[in-house]
């Protein structure tokens, strides 16, 4: 009897199991993968088949278990498409925590939308994406897609760990390719991760990554592309939006780009050529001529991006830019190049990554890279780089966007990798000279002149903001001064010397208050370091200070009469590998003191264990910047 | 005397001709306009709309009936590079075939002054783009050629549509100055619109009546003698009366964004039109929304509102089981509310109309605001409660100033009790009865009863949200402090906290907490009632703080709130144009006890303070006492209203300054 029942129960249990996809159950995930994770990639299998120079097929099956609402992004269920990139299949299935199927999402249920970003006026690119509302956590989603494209110039890079707080159970890449297309690859940041190369032959490349644990994001970390594993891939014989190409070296790549992409776009109307010649007149120096032309372009043009087909790569014809007065980075750089050419100044179309975060063109991996175009002008042994999309950058100004990185310069005889201008720590300087006085009603009044250069010059944009925003900016900047009033502002922007000066008159009622016959106030009124560096327990990643800076202050302070100095802050000095800090107070007489301060923060890449030292360095600065004077009546 | 009179006449002549120098027709750009270097009234403006004229008219077409044409003509002056974005224009339209909507640009020209002469550059097809945004919307875009600092651009566009239920909104004001804005509607007697004007500026309005006509061609087959049929064509000229309304705004300043504003659209000068009546020959008069009652009735009668509310079959079994043993009103409300919150998730779409319907939403466990809250209302009714839906305009949709169907964009649920209304929104999982998500807190909603009648409901919270902090600090002579803190958050403060932090893992939360609190070191962190919404969020932890105490020449300086002190007044700007919106009334209270290190005594302490703003907006109380080796401080800060009018701003700013100053006052300890 008992035996019989057992059989029945067992039977029931097995049928129940077969209705589930146990592999998609969230219950069996090891705790180690859940640690710090908002989502877990259970499986990400990407199969890339390159059939020929003009045909590539990409299949993806991505299974993600989402643990909470912050893990939603990890689903990554979207595909872009256009005329030459077709989505052959796109679908998804959702499973609950037990692996029971709860929803099927078909192609027609995906959202279909034009993929125009903020900076682009028009693009023929479109995107299909999944907009799924989670009804419970955890859940597992299986996303499947297939893409067919004729453009083989980009093989999507393999980037199994694409975010923080995401762990990987299993990630697989399989690429197959004909032997004769010159397939190549570059592996980056593999060292600290469990990645197995399962095939590496003349027609096949496969990797397997398993059990990569989720990482927390840590402040000042280098970009994830510099610390997480990835594989870049490329072909020697490729196709870009219908145009065949081949390149083994940067030289060849540049030559092809010049011949196939740039040629035919560069013709300038004779009238404009003549106009440029008149404009430069008798000037012989190529750099001085370039300055004149650059100014002309800045006044005449504006940035408008239009991306259609090969237009995403090929600059709009120069004669159109001349007629319409607008274009994107490609068009405006190419246009400036043609104008310079008309006055016999050579210059080169230059591909690079434009971003605050410094990113190189991977110099030992010849392939289509970069997201921005600038123009390079040879200047003896050196180069000058022009940002042609800006209407107000000084000639050759690069800080914060295209500085200090490897770029691809396309010269007539081919491409070449060079390094852009580096702004040294002390190039990024701000010199503050000023004074302030305090009266016995507690009123602060002062004047200050702040001169900024290098990366700190970047703040010159404040000139063009509306007055209300300027006011808000300074009230934030001097947030340490309560009741702040901006009485007078004068800016001068020396584009020639790349130097921006702010002359300010400010005042504040009740900057200090007498309590019990004492007056206490912070000496360093104008330039307090008020930031704070977060404490991070067990930091894993190295940290990077991408740009150094140097601040020098000298402020004369007049104290109200009828008070005597009870206490002055001590002089203070710090010297570390991260930088130098020094403050000094000089007592001139009973009512006049001079405050001197200098702070140098050095650019650098440091080990994880050095982070706490850096934090303490900045904390001491913050503390000392808050040092106070005490006066007694 | 005579000369004076002459001067006056001359002045008027001059003035007249000067005013007339600007020609508000496309193509008539003047040298003066091109020469202008900055806007005379707003020198900081990057661009200005010199004129903008819109005309709405109705055109009859035998196949389609009446079509609405909106013709817009604009002239814009670009002063600075920052104004270049005005050289790119876009107009949206519905892609729905039945609506037959279309946009076409015309007469787009850029004018520049080159060597004292006007140079014209026309927009060609390479500057015009059509974009399909998604299934519902298309968009035409133009980018003007040859634009520089100083350019004047002109363009016209026409929107053609068969939608007559509303006219496109007209904005008189913009983020740049508008010198002249004219909007004309020419409406045949068959249609009547209700117009709603917003904003603080005066817009002129004149009305004229005139005659209009259209022709209908008809053919009729007439059976003649001897079986011969012939077709007779006839033309009927139909005459009707037209109402022409002209709205005119001049010298409208740029609208500027400010902090703590609910939604700038509430204050921008604009006009909207909604169909109130149709009266076609040989057809009964049809009325549409003109007052709140009929707006509500119209919405109630929509297929995807009222009927959805009356469906119950799909949940009856589940809800009956849910309610078993629950008898009190509050038990029943919270059982149903929690059930809906936990089973049906919001898909982030707002609306008062169901999309897939309540049944499908219930089955799929996901739905929009209407599906979720109508389902909730239906279940509450099923449980025998006096429940009704409440139409709401969320903050991003603007305040419901005028009766119109588009005044609302959302619906929530309510239960009427002898003690008043209980408002519920099940789209926010951390919300509680009468603690609505911030997006719903937007002045007034409209409750609809079963019989279709309606009543106003005040959405602004009356309940005070509290943040209570108890802190005990043990101060050491080296200038460091160790202490314990207990913090309690209720109502909206708790809702906000849960939304913001519950999904964050503990380590990251602690890092954030330390960083936001001047880098104190936190240990023994415990949090209670994360998911027990009926109780406040309670956090307790121990801390070490060495940065908020100063030792100078053997004396210890400390502000009693340590790292909790507000260092800056949040209100910085000198003048305020729009009301300040706090969202909900709030009380912050601090009970602080400081233990003085041995060998030290109080040299001086801040004075107590007790201030209030008047009009019951805010109050602040600071009480401090020293007994032996300890100091006790009690600080209470009350903001009693949700919205503070702009004219009260100086008082508010000053009130915040006094609070900030007092919190930063120091206790001074000296060695004994």
> What's the mean pLDDT when you consider all of chain B?
89
- Is residue A327 within 8 Å of A335, Cβ to Cβ? yes
State which residue of chain B sits closest to A299, comparing Cα positions. B148
- What number is the average pLDDT over the span B542-554? 87
Strand partners, B466: B587
CA distance B1 to chain A (A): 46
> What's the mean pLDDT when you consider all of chain A?
91
End-to-end C-alpha distance for chain B, whole angstroms: 87
Q: Which of A112, A116, A304 sits opposite B143 (nearest CB)?
A: A304
- Whether B433 shows a pLDDT value over 60: the answer reads yes
- What number is the average pLDDT over the span B471-481? 93
Which tokens sit at A202?
């003349």
- The alpha carbon of A461 is separated from its chain's Cα centroid by a whole number of angstroms, namely 19
**CB of B523 within 8 Å of any CB in chain A?**
no
Three-state DSSP class for residue A558: strand
Give the pLDDT confidence score for residue B52 in this predicted structure: 96
Cβ contact, residue pair B126, A324, below 8 Å? yes
Question: For B112-141, how does the pLDDT look when each residue is reduced to its tens digit (9 = 90+)?
Answer: 999 999 999 999 988 999 988 888 888 999
Residues of chain B found within 8 Å of residue A482, distances taken between Cβ atoms: 568-569, 657, 660-661
Cβ contact, residue pair B603, A516, below 8 Å? yes
- What number is the average pLDDT over the span A223-244? 94
Quote the CA–CA distance of B606 and A114 in Å, as a whole number: 62
**CB of B285 within 8 Å of any CB in chain A?**
no
Q: Which of A304, A471, A623 sits opposite B88 (nearest CB)?
A: A304
Question: For A409-446, how does the pLDDT look when each residue is reduced to its tens digit (9 = 90+)?
Answer: 999 889 999 999 999 999 999 999 999 999 888 899 99
- Is residue A255 within 8 Å of A413, Cβ to Cβ? yes
Question: For A118-134, how does the pLDDT look when each residue is reduced to its tens digit (9 = 90+)?
Answer: 667 788 888 999 989 88
- What number is the average pLDDT over the span A513-533? 83
Residues of chain B found within 8 Å of residue A483, distances taken between Cβ atoms: 569, 657
Give the pLDDT confidence score for residue A3 in this predicted structure: 40
| Region class of A538: left (phi > 0), else alpha (psi between -120 and 50), else beta | left
Residues of chain A found within 8 Å of residue B521, distances taken between Cβ atoms: 535
- Is residue A334 within 8 Å of A262, Cβ to Cβ? yes
Q: Which of B44, B343, B348 sits opposite A466 (nearest CB)?
A: B44
HEC string for A293-345: HHHHHHHHCEECEEECHHHHCCCCCHHHHHHHCEECHHHHHHHHHHHHHHCCC
Q: Given the DSSP bridges, would you call strands A166-176 and A39-52 parallel, antiparallel or unpaired?
A: parallel
Strand partners, A302: A326
- What number is the average pLDDT over the span A104-124? 83
Cβ contact, residue pair B88, A121, below 8 Å? yes
Give the pLDDT confidence score for residue B551 in this predicted structure: 86
Give the pLDDT confidence score for residue A123 in this predicted structure: 83
Question: For B83-123, how does the pLDDT look when each residue is reduced to its tens digit (9 = 90+)?
Answer: 999 999 999 999 887 778 999 999 999 999 999 999 999 99
DSSP A613: H
Closest CA to B83 of B28, B46, B109: B46
Q: Which range in A147-161, B226-240, B287-301 is most confidently predicted, on average pLDDT?
A: A147-161
Proportion of chain A above pLDDT 90, given as a percent: 75
Quote the CA–CA distance of B191 and B242 in Å, as a whole number: 10
Which tokens sit at B340?
């809906």
Question: For A328-362, how does the pLDDT look when each residue is reduced to its tens digit (9 = 90+)?
Answer: 999 999 999 999 999 999 999 999 999 999 999 99
Quote the CA–CA distance of A616 and A623 in Å, as a whole number: 10
Question: For A555-583, how does the pLDDT look when each residue is reduced to its tens digit (9 = 90+)?
Answer: 999 999 888 998 899 999 999 999 999 99
Quote the CA–CA distance of A612 and A160 in Å, as a whole number: 30
**CB of B557 within 8 Å of any CB in chain A?**
yes
Q: Which of A36, A134, A628 sits opposite B550 (nearest CB)?
A: A628
Quote the CA–CA distance of A573 and A593 in Å, as a whole number: 19
Cβ contact, residue pair B127, A136, below 8 Å? no
Give the pLDDT confidence score for residue A265 in this predicted structure: 93
| Residues in CB range of B455: below 8 A, 6 or more apart | B446, B447, B449
What is the second-level CATH architecture of the domain A247-419?
Roll (3.10)
Give the pLDDT confidence score for residue B601 in this predicted structure: 94
Quote the CA–CA distance of A150 and A242 in Å, as a whole number: 7
Give the pLDDT confidence score for residue A15 in this predicted structure: 40
Cβ contact, residue pair A472, B572, below 8 Å? yes
**CB of B141 within 8 Å of any CB in chain A?**
yes
Three-state DSSP class for residue B508: helix
**Got the DSSP string for A45-59?**
EEEEEEEETTEEEEE
- Unique residue bearing structure tokens 């998730």: B345
**Got the DSSP string for B207-227?**
EEEEEEEEEEEEEEEEE-GGG
Question: For B628-642, how does the pLDDT look when each residue is reduced to its tens digit (9 = 90+)?
Answer: 899 999 999 999 998
Spell out the domains of chain B, with CATH numbers in brackets.
8-213+244-286 (2.60.40.3140), 292-458 (3.10.620.30), 465-671 (2.60.120.1130)
Which tokens sit at A405?
């990185």
- Is residue A347 within 8 Å of A341, Cβ to Cβ? yes
- Whether B20 shows a pLDDT value over 80: the answer reads no
Composition of chain A by helix, strand, coil, percent to 5: 25, 40, 35
Closest CA to B647 of B596, B590, B577, B600: B577
State which residue of chain A sits closest to B506, comparing Cα positions. A36
Quote the CA–CA distance of B374 and B302 in Å, as a whole number: 13
Give the pLDDT confidence score for residue B11 in this predicted structure: 38
**CB of B427 within 8 Å of any CB in chain A?**
no
Interface predicted TM-score (ipTM) of this complex, two decimals: 0.84
CA atoms within 13 A on the CB side of A205: 21
- Unique residue bearing structure tokens 């100033």: B401
pLDDT band at B184 (very low <50, low <70, confident <90, very high): very high
Give the pLDDT confidence score for residue B595 in this predicted structure: 96
For the CA atoms of chain B, what is the radius of gyration?
33
- Whether A5 shows a pLDDT value over 60: the answer reads no
- Whether B420 shows a pLDDT value over 50: the answer reads yes
Question: B249-262 b/e with 16+ CB inside 10 Å = b?
Answer: beebbbbeebeebb
CA distance B279 to chain A (A): 41
HEC string for B570-615: CCCCCCCCCCEECCCCEEEEEEEEEECCCCEEEEECCCCEEEECCC
Proportion of chain B above pLDDT 90, given as a percent: 61
- Backbone φ and ψ for B92, nearest 5 degrees, come out as -90, 155
Cβ contact, residue pair B141, A122, below 8 Å? yes
Cβ contact, residue pair A471, B557, below 8 Å? no
State which residue of chain A sits closest to B347, comparing Cα positions. A133
Closest CA to B73 of B142, B27, B39: B27
Residues of chain B found within 8 Å of residue A115, distances taken between Cβ atoms: none
Q: Given the DSSP bridges, would you call strands B465-475 and B586-595 parallel, antiparallel or unpaired?
A: parallel
Cβ contact, residue pair A302, B87, below 8 Å? yes
| Region class of A364: left (phi > 0), else alpha (psi between -120 and 50), else beta | alpha
CATH class held by domain A426-632: mainly beta
- What number is the average pLDDT over the span B299-322? 93
pLDDT band at B10 (very low <50, low <70, confident <90, very high): very low
Q: A66 versus B229: which is more confidently predicted?
A: A66
Question: For B489-527, how does the pLDDT look when each residue is reduced to its tens digit (9 = 90+)?
Answer: 999 999 999 999 988 888 889 988 988 888 889 999 999
Q: Which of B129, B146, B364 sits opposite A122 (nearest CB)?
A: B129
Question: For A75-88, how does the pLDDT look when each residue is reduced to its tens digit (9 = 90+)?
Answer: 999 999 988 999 99
| Residues in CB range of A211: below 8 A, 6 or more apart | A32, A33, A167, A168, A169, A194
Quote the CA–CA distance of A99 and A141 in Å, as a whole number: 10
Contacts A–B by Cβ distance under 8 A: 144
pLDDT band at B617 (very low <50, low <70, confident <90, very high): very high
- What number is the average pLDDT over the span B604-633? 94
Cβ contact, residue pair B604, A515, below 8 Å? yes
HEC string for A463-514: HHCCHHHHHHHHHHHCCCCCCEEEEEEEEEEECCCCEEEEEEEEEECCCCCE
- Is residue A53 within 8 Å of A237, Cβ to Cβ? yes
CA atoms within 13 A on the CB side of A587: 12
Alpha-carbon dihedral B152, B200, B613, B568, rounded to 10 degrees: -20
Question: For A454-503, how does the pLDDT look when each residue is reduced to its tens digit (9 = 90+)?
Answer: 999 999 999 988 888 898 899 889 988 878 899 999 999 999 999 999 99
- Is residue B179 within 8 Å of B45, Cβ to Cβ? no
Q: Which of A70, A306, A532 sits opposite B515 (nearest CB)?
A: A532
Element (H, E) at B363: helix B358-364
Cβ contact, residue pair A482, B134, below 8 Å? no
Cis peptide before A138 (omega within 30 of 0): yes
Q: Which of B88, B552, B573 sits opposite A567 (nearest CB)?
A: B552
Quote the CA–CA distance of B641 and B492 in Å, as a whole number: 14
Instruction: Tally the residues of chain B.
Output: 672
State which residue of chain A sits closest to B365, comparing Cα positions. A135
Give the pLDDT confidence score for residue B507 in this predicted structure: 82
- Is residue A411 within 8 Å of A254, Cβ to Cβ? yes
Give the pLDDT confidence score for residue A531 in this predicted structure: 75
Cβ contact, residue pair B603, A306, below 8 Å? no
Cβ contact, residue pair A135, B365, below 8 Å? yes
Quote the CA–CA distance of B266 and B202 in Å, as a whole number: 15
Q: Which of B84, B345, B505 sits opposite A134 (nearest CB)?
A: B345
Closest CA to A448 of A430, A460, A432: A432
Cβ contact, residue pair B557, A484, below 8 Å? no
pLDDT band at B212 (very low <50, low <70, confident <90, very high): confident
Which tokens sit at A514?
């007498």
Q: Which of A216, A466, A567 sits opposite B508 (nearest CB)?
A: A216
Q: Given the DSSP bridges, would you call strands B366-367 and B345-346 parallel, antiparallel or unpaired?
A: parallel
Instruction: Give A69-74's long-range contacts (Cβ < 8 A, gap of 24+).
Output: A69/A134, A69/A137, A69/B503, A70/A38, A70/A165, A70/B503, A70/B504, A71/A37, A71/A38, A71/A39, A71/A165, A71/A166, A72/A39, A72/A134, A73/A39, A73/A163, A74/A38, A74/A39, A74/A41, A74/A163, A74/A166
Among the listed ranges A310-314, B14-18, B132-136, B484-488, which one has the minimum average pLDDT value?
B14-18
Q: Where are the domains of chain A?
A: 18-236, 247-419, 426-632
Proportion of chain B above pLDDT 70, given as a percent: 93
What is the second-level CATH architecture of the domain A18-236?
Sandwich (2.60)
Question: For B241-275, how does the pLDDT look when each residue is reduced to its tens digit (9 = 90+)?
Answer: 999 999 999 999 998 766 666 677 778 889 999 88
Give the pLDDT confidence score for residue A203 in this predicted structure: 96
Closest CA to B572 of A358, A477, A614: A477
């Amino acid at each position: 009897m008992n035996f019989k029942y057992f059989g029945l129960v067992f039977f029931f249990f097995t049928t129940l199991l077969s209705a589930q996809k146990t592999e998609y159950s969230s219950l069996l995930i090891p705790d180690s993968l859940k640690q710090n994770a908002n989502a877990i990639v259970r499986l990400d299998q990407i199969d890339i088949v390159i059939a020929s120079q003009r045909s590539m097929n990409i299949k993806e099956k991505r299974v993600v278990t989402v643990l909470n609402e912050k893990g939603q992004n990890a689903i990554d269920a979207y595909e872009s498409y256009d005329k030459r990139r077709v989505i052959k299949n796109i679908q998804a299935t959702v499973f609950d925590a037990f692996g029971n199927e709860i929803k099927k999402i078909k192609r027609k249920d995906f959202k279909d939308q034009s993929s125009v970003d903020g900076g682009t006026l028009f693009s023929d690119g479109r995107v299909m994406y999944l907009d799924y509302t989670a009804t419970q956590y955890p859940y597992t989603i299986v996303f499947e897609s297939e893409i067919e494209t004729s453009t083989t110039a980009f093989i999507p890079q393999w980037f199994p760990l694409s975010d923080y707080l995401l762990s990987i159970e299993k990630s697989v890449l399989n690429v197959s390719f004909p032997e004769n297309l010159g397939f190549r690859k570059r592996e980056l940041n593999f060292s600290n991760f469990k990645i197995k190369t399962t095939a590496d032959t003349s027609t096949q490349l496969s990797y397997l990554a398993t059990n990569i644990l989720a990482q927390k994001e840590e402040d000042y970390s280098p970009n994830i592309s510099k610390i997480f594993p990835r594989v870049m891939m490329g072909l020697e014989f490729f196709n870009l939006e219908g145009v065949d190409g081949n390149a083994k070296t940067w030289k060849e790549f540049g030559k092809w780009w010049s011949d196939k992409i740039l040629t035919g776009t560069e013709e300038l109307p004779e009238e404009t050529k003549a106009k440029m010649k008149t404009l430069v007149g008798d000037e012989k120096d190529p750099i001085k001529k370039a300055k004149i032309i650059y100014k002309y372009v800045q006044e005449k043009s504006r940035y408008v991006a239009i991306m259609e087909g090969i237009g995403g790569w090929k600059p709009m014809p120069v004669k159109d830019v001349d007629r319409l007065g607008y274009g994107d980075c490609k068009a405006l750089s190419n246009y400036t190049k043609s104008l310079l050419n008309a006055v016999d100044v050579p210059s080169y179309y230059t591909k690079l990554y434009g971003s605050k975060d410094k990113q190189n063109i991977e110099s030992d991996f010849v392939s289509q890279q970069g997201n921005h175009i600038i123009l390079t002008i040879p200047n003896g042994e050196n180069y000058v780089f022009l940002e042609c999309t800006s209407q107000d950058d000084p000639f050759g100004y690069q800080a914060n966007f295209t500085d200090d990185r490897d770029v691809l310069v396309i010269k007539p005889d081919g491409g070449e990798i060079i390094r852009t201008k580096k702004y040294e720590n002390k190039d990024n300087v701000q010199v503050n000279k000023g004074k302030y006085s305090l009266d016995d009603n507690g009123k602060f009044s002062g004047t200050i002149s702040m001169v900024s250069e290098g990366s700190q010059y970047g703040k010159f944009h404040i000139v063009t903001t509306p007055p209300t925003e300027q006011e808000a900016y300074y009230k934030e900047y001097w947030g340490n001064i309560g009741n702040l009033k901006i009485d007078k502002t004068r800016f001068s922007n020396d584009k020639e010397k790349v130097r921006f000066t702010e002359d300010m008159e400010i005042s504040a009622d009740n900057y200090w208050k007498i309590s019990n016959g004492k007056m206490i106030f912070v000496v360093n009124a104008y330039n307090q370091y008020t930031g704070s560096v977060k404490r991070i327990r067990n930091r894993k990643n190295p940290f990077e200070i991408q740009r150094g800076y140097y601040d020098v202050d000298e402020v004369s302070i007049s104290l109200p009469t009828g008070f005597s100095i009870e206490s002055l802050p001590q002089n203070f000095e710090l010297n570390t590998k991260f930088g130098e800090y020094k403050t000094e107070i000089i007592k001139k007489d009973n009512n006049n003191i001079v405050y001197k301060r200098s702070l140098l923060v050095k650019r650098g890449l440091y080990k994880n264990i050095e982070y706490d030292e850096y934090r303490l360095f900045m904390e001491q600065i913050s503390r000392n910047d808050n040092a106070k004077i005490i006066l007694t009546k | 005397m005579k000369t004076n009179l002459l001067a006056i006449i001359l002045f008027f002549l001059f003035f007249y001709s000067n005013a007339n120098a600007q020609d508000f027709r496309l193509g008539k750009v003047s040298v003066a306009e091109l020469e202008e270097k900055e806007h005379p009234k707003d020198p900081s403006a990057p661009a200005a709309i010199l004129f903008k004229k819109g005309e709405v008219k109705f055109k009859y077409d035998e196949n389609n009936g009446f079509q609405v044409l909106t013709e817009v003509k604009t002239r814009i002056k670009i002063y600075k590079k920052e104004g270049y974005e005005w050289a790119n224009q876009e107009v949206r339209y519905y892609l729905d075939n039945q609506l037959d909507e279309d946009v076409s640009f015309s007469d787009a020209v850029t004018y520049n002054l080159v060597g004292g002469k006007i140079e014209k550059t026309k927009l060609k097809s390479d500057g015009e783009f059509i974009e399909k945004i998604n299934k519902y919307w298309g968009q035409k875009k133009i980018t003007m050629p040859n634009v520089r600092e100083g350019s004047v651009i002109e363009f016209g566009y026409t929107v053609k549509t068969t939608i007559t239920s509303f006219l496109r909104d007209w904005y008189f004001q913009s983020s740049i100055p508008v010198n002249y804005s004219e909007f004309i509607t020419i409406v045949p007697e068959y249609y009547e619109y209700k117009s709603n004007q917003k904003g603080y500026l005066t817009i002129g309005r004149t009305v004229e009546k005139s005659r209009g006509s259209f022709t209908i061609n008809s053919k009729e087959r007439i059976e003649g003698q001897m079986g011969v049929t012939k077709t007779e064509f006839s033309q009927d000229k139909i005459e009707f009366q037209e109402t022409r309304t002209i709205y005119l705004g001049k010298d409208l300043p740029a609208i500027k964004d400010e902090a703590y504003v609910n939604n700038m659209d509430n204050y921008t000068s604009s006009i909207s039109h909604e169909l109130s009546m149709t009266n076609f020959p040989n057809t009964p008069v049809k009325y549409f929304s003109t007052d709140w009652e009929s707006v509500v009735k119209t919405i109630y009668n929509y297929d995807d509102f009222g009927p959805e509310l009356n469906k119950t079959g799909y949940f009856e079994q589940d809800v009956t089981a849910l309610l078993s043993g629950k008898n009190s009103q509050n038990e029943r409300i919270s059982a149903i509310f929690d059930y809906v919150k936990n089973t049906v998730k919001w898909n982030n779409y707002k609306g008062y109309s169901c999309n897939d319907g309540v049944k499908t939403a219930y089955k799929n466990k996901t739905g929009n605001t209407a599906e979720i809250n109508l389902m909730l209302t239906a279940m509450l009714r099923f449980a025998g409660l006096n429940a009704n839906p409440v139409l709401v305009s969320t903050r991003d949709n603007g305040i419901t100033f005028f009766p119109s169907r588009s005044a609302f964009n959302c619906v929530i649920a309510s239960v009427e009790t002898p003690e008043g209304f209980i408002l519920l929104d099940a789209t926010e999982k951390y919300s509680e009865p009468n603690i609505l998500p911030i997006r719903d807190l937007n002045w007034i909603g409209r409750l609809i009863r079963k019989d279709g009648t309606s009543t106003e409901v005040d959405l602004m919270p009356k309940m005070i949200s509290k943040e209570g902090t108890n802190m005990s600090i043990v101060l050491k002579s080296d200038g460091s402090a160790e202490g314990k803190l207990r913090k309690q958050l209720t109502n909206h403060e708790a809702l906000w906290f849960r939304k913001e932090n519950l999904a964050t893992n503990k380590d990251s939360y602690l890092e954030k907490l330390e960083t936001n609190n001047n880098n104190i070191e936190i240990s023994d962190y415990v949090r209670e009632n994360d998911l027990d919404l009926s109780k406040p969020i309670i956090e307790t932890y121990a801390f070490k703080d060495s940065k908020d105490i100063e030792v100078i020449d053997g004396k210890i300086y400390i502000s009693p709130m340590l790292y909790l002190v507000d260092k800056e007044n949040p209100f910085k700007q000198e003048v305020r144009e729009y009301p300040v919106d706090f969202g909900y009334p709030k009380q912050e209270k601090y009970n602080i006890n400081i233990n003085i290190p041995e060998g030290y005594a109080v040299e001086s302490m801040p004075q107590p303070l007790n201030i209030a703003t008047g009009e019951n907006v805010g109050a602040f109380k600071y009480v401090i006492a020293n007994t032996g080796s300890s100091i006790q401080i009690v600080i209470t800060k009350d903001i009693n209203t949700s919205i503070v009018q702009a004219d009260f701003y100086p008082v508010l700013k000053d009130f915040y300054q006094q609070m900030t100053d007092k919190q930063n006052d120091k206790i001074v300890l000296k060695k004994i």
